[in-house]
Amino acid sequence: MEDHIVKATAAGGTIRALAAVTTDIVREAKEVHSLSPLASAALGRTLTAAAMMSRLLEGARDTITIQIRGDGPLGGIVTVSDSKSNVRGYVYNPQVYLPLNQEGKFDVAGAVGKKGYLNVIRDLGLKEPYIGYVNLVSGEIGDDIAYYYAFSEQIPSVVALGVLVDRDGSVLAAGGYIIQLMPGADEETVPFLENRVASVPSVTKLLHEGKTPEDILSLLLGDKDLNMGEKSPCRYVCDCTRDRMERNIISLGKDEIRDIIREQHGAELVCHFCNRKYRFSEDDLLKLLEG
């Protein structure tokens, strides 16, 4: 099944929903960053959230960034997505390891930590980006994204994110869904959603069994006049370029560049998102000084 996201509405438009399969995205991230199984689960959940949240952006050049910084050994997570759900990301400690939690699952909350913050930065092409900031409530990422929507945007939401990893560390399935109550929703909708979410198997179990995002939304909202909307691809894509790295060097200032030339006779920059290396010789740096 190719990675994709589907949007939908239900209950006469008073429920907005998205669901995604992101297995290939998480596999690519694991390969690029040599992630431990636990780091794959943490970064994979956040990449899935960013991919789905980007489908709510309106401008073609809009981007969304999720930054999570906790007091756990993972250190932090950064993910970025454009409006076409081309996502990229990294974790501070890609080899993080912890024993399984009491439920026999990856201890993502322990890796992230329960003390810290989550930032959602939406760059809409204005002078200043919109930045939403909330404290972490669990470190499980899905709960924290839901809290962000409730606290920062006043949108009651259910967020489920999952990554299923095999014993050998390979990613078997990844995906998630977001369900949001819009203005005009009936009071009975909340208990309906709570009961339905509790009764449906985990998103990774469903995806591993071959269920599609469309199937998952049907299980959750099929009784609420579900109206399936657009289906769109999502991918792991890094947009770094040598020109962008040159601008990063120029931003250091001429004095700093001269110091690099004198002390190192060149520079090597590595992209955090894809680990691509860009080598600048002493002559390259001298040209940047003259430019």
Task: Report the C-alpha gap between 198 and 220 in whole angstroms.
Answer: 10
Write down all domains in the chain, each with its CATH number in brackets.
4-236 (3.55.30.10), 242-290 (3.90.1280.10)
> What is the rounded average pLDDT for all residues in the chain?
95
Q: Which residue has the tokens 């909350």?
A: 109
Q: In sequence order, what are the residues at sequence separation of 6 or more whose Cβ sits closer than 8 angstroms to the Cβ of residue 185?
A: 11, 14, 15
Decide: helix, strand or coil at residue 268: strand
Q: How far is CA 201 from the centre of its chain?
A: 22
pLDDT (0 to 100) of residue 29: 98
User: Worst-scoring range by mean pLDDT, 26-40, 76-90, 115-129, 206-220?
Assistant: 115-129
What CA–CA distances, in Å, run from 108 to 113, 119, 153?
A: 8, 18, 25
Q: Mean pLDDT across the stretch 203-227?
A: 96
Name the pTM for this structure: 0.94
Task: Report the C-alpha gap between 155 and 111 in whole angstroms.
Answer: 28
* Phi/psi of residue 229, nearest 5 degrees: -105, -145
Q: What is the pLDDT of residues 14-31, one digit of tens each?
A: 999 999 999 999 999 999
Q: What is the pLDDT of residues 35-77, one digit of tens each?
A: 999 999 999 999 999 999 999 998 888 999 999 999 999 999 9
* Phi/psi of residue 288, nearest 5 degrees: -65, -35
